[in-house]
Amino acid sequence: MNLLRIAALCVALVTSLHAKYVPTPEMAMSFNMQVDPTKWVPQFMDGDKSGIIFELVPAGESIDAWKEMVAQQIIFTKVPLRKFVDAWKAGLLASDPKIELTEEQSEDGSILASYVSVTGQEASLRRFIKAKDGIYMLAYHVRPSLKTDERWALWREIVTTASLVPNPENKR
Q: How far is CA 38 from the centre of its chain?
A: 17
Of 9-13, 82-86, 148-152, minimum mean pLDDT range: 9-13
Would you say residue 99 has pLDDT above 80? yes
Would you say residue 9 has pLDDT above 70? no
Q: Which domain holds residue 36?
A: 3-171
Cα-based angle 146, 46, 83 (whole degrees, multiple of 5)? 75
The number of folded domains in the chain is 1
The residue with greater pLDDT, 6 or 101, is 101
> Residue 18 has what pLDDT?
46
> Residue 45 has what pLDDT?
94
pLDDT mean across residues, the chain? 89
> Residue 169 has what pLDDT?
82
Strand partners, 130: 135
Q: What pTM was computed for the model?
A: 0.87
> Residue 5 has what pLDDT?
47
> Residue 172 has what pLDDT?
53
Average pLDDT over residues 10-28: 67
User: CA separation (Å) from 167 to 4, 15, 79?
Assistant: 8, 14, 21
- Residue 62: strand, helix, or coil: coil
- Exposed (0-12), middle (13-18) or buried (19+): which is 164, by Cβ within 10 Å? middle
Average pLDDT over residues 88-108: 95
* Residues 11, 45: Cα–Cα separation, whole Å: 9
- Exposed (0-12), middle (13-18) or buried (19+): which is 157, by Cβ within 10 Å? middle
In CATH, what number is assigned to the domain containing residue 68? 3.40.1000.10
